[in-house]
Structure 1
């Protein structure tokens, strides 16, 4: 069995973005003289939200001789899971679809007309494509991930800059609140 997790670049970039956008909330609350209960509630909510983000980013694509499926670790709650499976024997064709942003995504279409989005955010995408082609005998040459790695790299760098800014603001808030 082959296992393809979501690409680390995507996982870390999205987590950095989550924290870069979320960390100002407790900083702003502390500036407003929030009670410990209010601050604790915000931190608990942020950690719960991070758990949902981690859960959604823990999807794994598993391939074996029978087919392909998306699975999650047992700790991920059902409302986060987007599990599916498809048997190689049922795959009839690959269907490209354009997105509203002008990109292209691909669906594996079964003989019954069911469509499964080809996972493109996995680590080892080219290897996954080779395995799909080997098992289905379909021509898959030229398929590329919808979002290129440099885009997630840029997102990650911008998120890190946002986190750096959040840290500088937090230090400023702390320095100005202790002297008052």
Structure 2
């Protein structure tokens, strides 16, 4: 399917801002104290290298969180700034919607095609997920009655609150490390 097919009439579903803010904040909270601690403890890894690698990781995380799903009369596409991640399917290529259990006891869904070796993960962390599922059902005729989001918004809100506490602990750790409190 050509990307031009989506220029006619399409709907765009972006990753939820709550999820973006939560995951980026959590990433910062996990890595923020490392360069300071590396400097104070004279670790074999330089603080500059840690900062450079953290920034590189942030670029990849930001790119992953910039993905979006686009639907049109012709099909569905997952558009990503990472060239190896995107995909597109015409509605007629989709033959089934298969649930798969996750390691955390959740369920994800794959769009199946006639080619048995190809399955495409239905993005579940987008704003308007219910509308996306209704579109898939309307365009493919597949039953989506049991399709539900993997995580509820309250889960990400809880993680965001815990991340704020972690950032406060990071601030204390950095302050202690840079003011002679860690030997």
TM-score normalised to the size of structure 1? 0.85
Structural mapping, 1:37-76, within 5 Å: 38-73=46-81, 76=82
Aligned with 2:111 (options 108, 113, 116):
108
Instruction: Tell me if 1:16 matches 2:25.
Output: yes
Aligned length: 171
Residue 33 of structure 1: how far off its partner (Å): 5.3
Quote the offset at 1:119 in angstroms. Answer: 1.0
RMSD: 2.1
Question: 3-state DSSP class of the match of 1:176?
Answer: coil
Gaps of 5+ in 2: 1-9
**Equivalence for 1:90:** 93
TM-score (norm 2): 0.83
List runs of 5+ in structure 1 lacking aligned partners.
Answer: none
Q: Which moved more, 1:46-55 or 1:107-116?
A: 107-116
Alignment pair present for 1:4 and 2:13: yes
Alignment of 1:147 with 2:151, yes or no, is yes
Shift of 1:104: 1.6
